[in-house]
Amino acid sequence: MSQCVRFITRCMALPLACVISSGCDRPDPANRPLRPSEVLDFGVLYAQNCSGCHGADGKLGPAPPLNDSLFLAMASDADLQRVIAEGRPGTPMSAFARSAGGGLTPQQVTAIVSGMRSKWSAATTRPAAPLSPYLTQVGHGTATAGAAVFSRNCAICHGANGEGASKAGAVNSPAFLALITDQALRRIVITGRPDLGMPDYQHAADGAARPTPLNEQEISDVVALLASWRQTAAQQSGQVAQAAGASR
157 sits near ligand HEC (criterion: CB under 6 A): yes
Please report how close the Cβ of residue 205 comes to ligand HEC at its closest, in angstroms. Answer: 18
143 vs 222, beta carbon nearer ligand HEC: 222
85 sits near ligand HEC (criterion: CB under 6 A): no
Query: How many other C-beta atoms are found inside a 10 Å radius of the C-beta of residue 200?
Result: 22
210 sits near ligand HEC (criterion: CB under 6 A): no
Alpha carbon distance 17, 32 (integer Å): 10
11 sits near ligand HEC (criterion: CB under 6 A): no
What are the two backbone dihedrals, phi and then psi, of residue 71, each rounded to the nearest 5 degrees?
-60, -50
Q: Which of 69, 73, 96, 122 binds ligand HEC (CB under 6 A)?
A: 96
CB-count exposure of residue 31 (10 Å: 0-12, 13-18, 19+): exposed
Stretch that binds ligand HEC, among 7-15, 81-89, 119-127, 237-245 (CB under 6 A): 81-89
Please report how close the Cβ of residue 125 comes to ligand HEC at its closest, in angstroms. Answer: 18
Give me Rg for the CA atoms of the chain.
23
Cα–chain-centroid distance for residue 143?
Answer: 24
Cα–chain-centroid distance for residue 154?
Answer: 21
Alpha carbon distance 41, 62 (integer Å): 24
Nearest in space to 71 (alpha carbons), one of 219, 189, 167: 189
Query: How many other C-beta atoms are found inside a 10 Å radius of the C-beta of residue 177?
Result: 23
Q: Which of 189, 190, 224, 227 binds ligand HEC (CB under 6 A)?
A: 189
Query: How many other C-beta atoms are found inside a 10 Å radius of the C-beta of residue 88?
Result: 16
- Interface positions, 45-74, toward ligand HEC (CB under 6 A): 49-50, 52-54, 63-64, 66
Stretch that binds ligand HEC, among 10-18, 77-85, 125-133, 231-239 (CB under 6 A): 77-85
166 vs 242, beta carbon nearer ligand HEC: 166
Which residues contact ligand HEC (rule: CB under 6 A)? Answer: 49-50, 52-54, 63-64, 66, 80, 83-84, 88, 91-93, 96, 112, 153-154, 156-158, 167-169, 171, 180-181, 183-185, 187-189, 193, 196-199, 201, 222
